[in-house]
Structure formats: structure tokens, C-alpha cells
Structure 1
Amino acid sequence: MTTGAPTSSHPTRARRSRLRRFLPLGVAAWLVLEIWLLTLVAGAAGGLTVFLLLLAGFVAGSVVIKRAGRRAFRSLNEALQRGGSPERGGGNGFMMLGGLLLMIPGLISDAVGLLLLIPPVQKALSRSAERTVDRKLREAAPGSLGDAFQQVRIHRPDGKVVQGEVIRNDKDEPGDAAWEQRPPLTS
């Protein structure tokens, strides 16, 4: 039973992007650098000093995240009360990212986290991120969002698209343990 369409035994794979290819390598290099720097500081200042630095970074990061979360919730609440939409680019995202980087153990992540807490840096990064998102949205083909939802559908070999859900139907016998654990259908 063939549909008449030739099929290849070797499907072509899409090329991986540079980010997906080099991100694991970058994360591994960052972790090695963090560990090397921590051992270097521990050798110079002592293990207790490094522990106190890491603890202070964790506490400061949690305070920053809590403060940014409260500020974001307050701005959302005020916007909903006046009937508008919340302001864009309030700096809460970069403040939360800075707090998260402070909480991650390591001196480089702490330095980057502290850098993200400076308001001019937040504004510059926010403008840059907004320009990048706008450019990517302009470059996207029309209807790409609908195409993304189209990919979720089930494609049958005859070309028909069938939407539905998977219902698992286990064939349990009355003597099975799974059968006995199910509640009765009627009371």
C-alpha cells in the first residue's frame, strides 16, 4: 500500500545554528573559568573569605529579585487600576537577571550581575533588546506565527491534517494491579 509519493530513506536534517552549536562550549568554558577564579581567590584570601563572598552574593541576589518582583507587581497593579497596559521596559527583567546572576555561585557571574543593576546599563540593554526584537519581527515572514501552530498538528501520510488528542487505552485485565487501583465508574 503506497501513496505514490517517493520517500527518501535518509531525511535531510536542518543545520544547527551557531548558537546551538557553540553554547554548550561557552557554558563549559565559563564554568571552568569560574572554578579557576574561585580557587585562585581561595588560595590568596582563604576558603572562609570565598564562602562569605558567595553567601553575600546569594543574599544580595535574593534581595534584588524580591525588590524587582515587587516593583513589577506594583506597576502591573497600577496599570490595571487605571485601565491601561503595563509600561514596557521598566528594567525589572534586567534587574531580575542581575539578581539571578548574583545568586549563582561565582565571581564573574557576580560582576556581570552587579553590572546589570546599574540603571544606564539596563536602559542601554533594554533599547538594544527592543531593536533586536523589532528587527526579528520585521524579518519574519507574514503568517509565521500561524505556521508555528500549524506544525503542532498531526500530518497523515495522505496529506490530511488531523487535530486531536491522544487517549491512552491500556488493555488491563481484571486481575492486573492497574485495574484494581482505578476507582469504580459508578457508586
Structure 2
Amino acid sequence: MAAIFLLWVIAEIAAIWAVASLIGFLATLGLLLAGALVGSWLARREGGKAARAVMDTARAGRSPHNEVTDGMLVGLGGLLIFVPGFVSDVAGLALLLPPTRTLVRRAWLKRLERRGPVTPRGFGGGLHRSGRVIVVDSEVVDTSRDDRRDPPQRPVIESE
């Protein structure tokens, strides 16, 4: 992870240096400022659209996972816009544009699906992957909890 961060910093410095060499220092600062202003306006607009889409989908009774993922990507794009540098600005703007955001969302969800099923874990929240489900009295019982901390309320009976 540290190597990726170092490479990103080197790429940002190289991009700023190259642009400053072409158009000058003050013009480069102006371009970075203009990118932040346009990016923040676009992030606010797209964030509002994503929030309305989540609410509309939830009201319709459908699962809003695509809309929530879009909202998260808009947030990440907005964050990248405020990080100084051209590489992060381009990545942030790409996440703020709906066509590229759709491509990133599909790739991200496909990667998550390949990692295995994710199921809710008890009342305490959190997520875990499980290879089996145990049902007792028509109720799904989570066997991954620590019984020393959270003793079971009723016995767990397994059958094949």
C-alpha cells in the first residue's frame, strides 16, 4: 500500500511539473483551482442526483444497491477533486461523470460477487462470509459469534 501511495505522489508531482513546464506556474495554479471549483460544483450536483435516486428506489420498494454505490463513488470523486494534483482531479472527474461511474460500479460489484456471498451478521451489525446457514425453528442462527462474549439464547441444532 505504501508503494502505491508513493507512486501516486510521484505521478502527481510529475504531472504538475509537466503542465507547469508547458503553460507556466501561475497558469498551472489557476488550472488546479478551476478544476477544484468545477469538480466541487459537479460533485454537489451528482451527489444530489444520487441521493434522490436512492430515495426514489427505496420508495418504489426495490433494493437501492446500485444507487448507494453511485453515491459512494460520487463521494470518492468529490474527495479526489479536493486533493491537489492533476491525476487525482482526472480520477475524481471520471467518477463524477455518470458513464464512467457506471463502468466502475459494475466492475466493483462484479469483484465483490467473486469474493463470495456477504450476509448480515446478527444484531451487532458487520458483515461476514459464511459457507453454510443453520436454521433453528425457522430462524437463521449465526454460528460465527464468540460464545464467551455473547452466549446463545437457545441451543443450536445442526442436521445435514
TM-score, scaled to structure 1: 0.56
Pick one of 19, 23, 28 that aligns with 1:50. 28
1:54 maps to a residue whose letter is: L
| Partner residue, 2:101 | 122
Structure 1 residue 62 corresponds to structure 2 residue 40:
yes
| Partner residue, 2:130 | 141
Gaps of 5+ in 1: 1-22, 154-160, 164-187
| Partner residue, 1:89 | 66
8 A contact 2:58–2:64 mirrored in 1: no
Instruction: Rate the CA distance shift 1:146–1:112 in 2: closer, same or farther, 3 A.
Output: farther
Instruction: Rate the CA distance shift 1:118–1:70 in 2: closer, same or farther, 3 A.
Output: closer
Pick one of 40, 64, 78 that aligns with 2:56. 78
TM-score, scaled to structure 2: 0.64
RMSD of equivalent CA atoms: 2.9
- What is the aligned length? 130
Per-residue Cα deviation, 1:29-58 (whole angstroms, up to 9, x for no partner):
111221122123223322111111111121
Q: Whose Rg is larger?
A: 1
Per-residue Cα deviation, 1:57-97 (whole angstroms, up to 9, x for no partner):
21122212212321233233334545x24533233333332
8 A contact 2:20–2:28 mirrored in 1: yes
Instruction: Report deviation, 1:24.
Output: 0.9
Instruction: Rate the CA distance shift 1:143–1:58 in 2: closer, same or farther, 3 A.
Output: farther
| Partner residue, 1:184 | none
In the aligned structure 1, how far is the partner of 2:143 from the partner of 2:18?
52
3-state SS of paired residue (2:65)? coil
In the aligned structure 1, how far is the partner of 2:40 from the partner of 2:132?
41
In the aligned structure 1, how far is the partner of 2:90 from the partner of 2:51?
27
Instruction: Report deviation, 1:111.
Output: 1.9
| Partner residue, 1:40 | 18
Of all paired residues, the percent bearing the same amino acid is 28
| Partner residue, 2:121 | none
Gaps of 5+ in 2: 119-128, 134-141, 151-160
In the aligned structure 2, how far is the partner of 1:43 from the partner of 1:59?
23
1:104 maps to a residue whose letter is: V
1:28 maps to a residue whose letter is: L
3-state SS of paired residue (2:117)? helix
